[in-house]
Amino acid sequence: MLIGIDASRATLAHRTGTETYSLRLIEALLRLDSGHRFRLYTNGTPPAGLFWDDVAPSGGEVRSIPFPRLWTHLRLSAEMLRYPPDVLFVPAHVLPLIHPRRSVATVHDVGYLFYPEAHHPADRRYLDWSTGWNARRSAAVLADSAATKADLVRAYGVDPGGVHVVYLGRDAALAPVRDADALARVRARYGIGERYLLYVGTLQPRKNLARLVDAFAPLAGDPALDGVQLVLAGKRGWLDDDLAPRVARLGLSERVRFPGYVADADLPALLSGARAFVFPSLYEGFGIPVLEAQSCGVPVMTSNNSSLPEVAGDAALLVDPHDVDAIAEAMCRLVTDDALRAELVRRGFENVKRFSWEKCARETLEVLEGVSRQVDR
């Protein structure tokens, strides 16, 4: 079987969650001894070594089809019309207007329906259209979590039997960094002190960072948290303009740091050096950062909503993301309660064993193979 994959999002230099999912899943699918052929569609030539090291694995090829605008709906559609694969898989975007009947798309979340104010109106309209299009036109849909599946079925009325929950994986190479010099070099690179609470992700309203800053403000004067910084790492998103001024108004400019996008090579050390990972998002379809932190032996605070309890398991402090006092209390406990920290770290190492990209790839491949058989009948 020839499986075509829209790999355009995997080639981005600064990847966020969905792009990371696309790349890691593609890599894992290529490593499987499946006997299938894979054709990866990209808008331009991907960097050398992105999907494989030097030699393409048996059955793997890149189809570079550059196009300046509307690549998916014009250029990829034309490719599907002329040279359709047996099955098309779109892991991180939207099905092209012209696509094979045997098409599968992943829906990562529908947070724009629950928190519309956290999205630009044009983005919200496009997300609503593209998600509905994927749900209606796909022969099968993948959902990152049971919570996302339930939201998708409820919002768009799709058949639950056609939505398959396939958990994302985690980077198996992520592990605690214990080398003091390596930790110090990364802290120096990003201008961070020795004691800090860490958030990693796009700086945007859905991540609830304004409340996180408000919760941190009274803690900054607590002697038990003397010198502890709040580090908000990630690239800027839409509607984040008020975040830095908010920090300044609260007199926290020296205690709240914005190091920007963190390179993949620096992430393990940055995570490992944190007192805790704080992720009070308003809505997540999955929440890869939670697993990344747990993999590096960092205690986690996250929200009690959407998919986050499902992913974090019993290895995190769960808080109401709308309750500033609850967020503040959880951060204080994670800094001062060493026994709690140790227990959450232990549970985190156990929790992450449930997730791997190989498992994600095998379950994804089962859906793709099933679609091929079902449509043939």
Instruction: Let me know: does 40 contact 75? Beta carbons within 8 Å.
Output: no
Domains and CATH numbers, the chain: 2-169+356-376 (3.40.50.2000), 180-354 (3.40.50.2000)
Q: What integer pLDDT is reported at residue 363 of this predicted model?
A: 98
Element spanning 130, H or E: helix 121-137
- Taking each continuous run of H as one helix and of E as one strand, the counts in the chain are 14, 13
Q: What integer pLDDT is reported at residue 239 of this predicted model?
A: 60
- Residue 167, pLDDT above cutoff 70: yes
- The distance in angstroms from the start CA to the end CA of the chain is 16
pLDDT tens per residue across span 101-154: 999 999 999 999 998 887 788 989 999 999 999 999 999 999 999 999 999 999
pLDDT tens per residue across span 200-218: 998 988 899 999 999 999 9
- Residue 7, pLDDT above cutoff 50: yes
- Residue 355, pLDDT above cutoff 60: yes
The burial of 57, by beta-carbon neighbours within 10 Å (0-12 exposed, 13-18 middle, 19 or more buried), is given as middle
Average pLDDT over residues 352-371: 97
- Residue 55, pLDDT above cutoff 70: no
Q: What integer pLDDT is reported at residue 59 of this predicted model?
A: 84
How is 196-229 classified by DSSP, letter by letter? Answer: EEEEES-BSGGGTHHHHHHHHHHHTT-GGGTT-E
- Residue 377, pLDDT above cutoff 50: no
Judging by DSSP bridges, how do beta strands 103-107 and 163-165 pair with one another? unpaired
Percent of the chain predicted with pLDDT > 90? 83
Average pLDDT over residues 281-287: 94
Mean of the per-residue pLDDT values of the chain: 94
- Residue 247, pLDDT above cutoff 70: yes
Q: What integer pLDDT is reported at residue 238 of this predicted model?
A: 66
- Residue 375, pLDDT above cutoff 60: no
Q: Which two tokens stand for residue 122?
A: 């044009």
Query: Which of these, 114, 115, 116, 107, lies nearest to 146 by C-alpha position?
Result: 107
What are the distances in angstroms from CA 4 to CA 34, 41, 59, 61, 88? 14, 7, 11, 10, 5
Q: What integer pLDDT is reported at residue 56 of this predicted model?
A: 75
pLDDT tens per residue across span 61-110: 999 999 999 999 999 999 999 999 999 999 999 999 999 999 999 999 99
- Residue 279, pLDDT above cutoff 80: yes
Q: Which segment of 11-15, 361-365, 370-374 scores lowest on mean pLDDT? A: 11-15
- Residue 35, pLDDT above cutoff 50: yes
